[in-house]
């Protein structure tokens, strides 16, 4: 029990460090909310004006795509933090060079980065849910389950992003991540029903 408390405290110190960095600049969190809002406005409402209601589902197109964009909000926020953010801290900022001599182990650092990514994904999702409510694309009280779901999505893609980042050699390798993520985003029925 003492070892678990010690690990939580050490991991929490890295989460606190990342939170302090975000406190100085909210740009990463705001941009992770702004991007899905633009997708919702351009595709959900813009293209949705041409589509009307989704056949077989019988809801407005914007209402149909909003939950999928919400899921990808958490996915992208967590993945970006543990891939590009961690890689930057390794190669450019050399943050981990300063952290390694402290009592934090490599496992504490990894866990702290994933927890930070989950928190970022959750905050981005909460921001997007607020925008969804403001735009009137929420039709069910089940939206409250979107936040716990965003935690799971953030964990899955945050941990996956951290694992992939350990294999990257240069910033050009991020194109390989996009080679997987972009088709998944476009063809995983985010913008059209599965039966079409």
Q: What is the pLDDT of residues 56-112, one digit of tens each?
A: 788 999 999 999 999 999 999 999 999 998 999 888 888 888 888 888 888 888 999
Task: Give me the torsion for CA of 6, 10, 15, 17, rounded to 10°.
Answer: 140
pLDDT for 1 equals: 46
pLDDT for 12 equals: 84
Q: Taking a C-beta distance cutoff of 8 angstroms, is the pair 75, 124 a contact?
A: no
Residues of the domain holding 44: 2-187
Q: Could you write out the DSSP letters of every residue in 105-122?
A: -HHHHHHHHHHHHHHHHH
**Residue 195, domain member (yes or no):** no
What is d(CA 96, CA 81) in angstroms, rounded to the nearest whole number?
A: 15
What is d(CA 88, CA 134) in angstroms, rounded to the nearest whole number?
A: 35
Domain count, the chain: 1
**Residue 134, domain member (yes or no):** yes
**Residue 193, domain member (yes or no):** no
Residue 103 DSSP label: S
């Amino acid at each position: 029990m003492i070892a678990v408390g010690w690990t939580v405290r050490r991991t929490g110190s890295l989460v606190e460090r990342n939170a302090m960095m975000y406190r100085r600049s909210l740009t990463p969190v705001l941009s992770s909310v702004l991007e899905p809002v633009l997708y919702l406005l351009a595709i959900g409402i813009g293209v949705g004006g041409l589509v009307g209601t989704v056949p077989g589902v019988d809801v407005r197109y914007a209402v149909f795509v909003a939950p999928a964009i919400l899921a990808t909000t958490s996915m992208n926020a967590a993945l970006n933090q543990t891939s590009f953010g961690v890689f930057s801290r390794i190669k450019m900022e050399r943050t981990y060079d300063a952290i390694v001599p402290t009592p934090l182990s490599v496992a504490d650092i990894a866990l702290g980065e994933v927890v930070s990514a989950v928190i970022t994904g959750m905050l981005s999702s909460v921001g997007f849910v607020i925008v969804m409510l403001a735009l009137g694309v929420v039709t069910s009280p089940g939206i409250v389950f979107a936040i716990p779901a965003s935690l799971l999505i953030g964990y899955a893609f945050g941990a996956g992003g951290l694992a992939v980042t350990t294999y990257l050699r240069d910033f050009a390798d991020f194109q390989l991540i996009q080679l997987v993520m972009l088709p998944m985003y476009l063809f995983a029925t985010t913008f059209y029903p599965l039966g079409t």
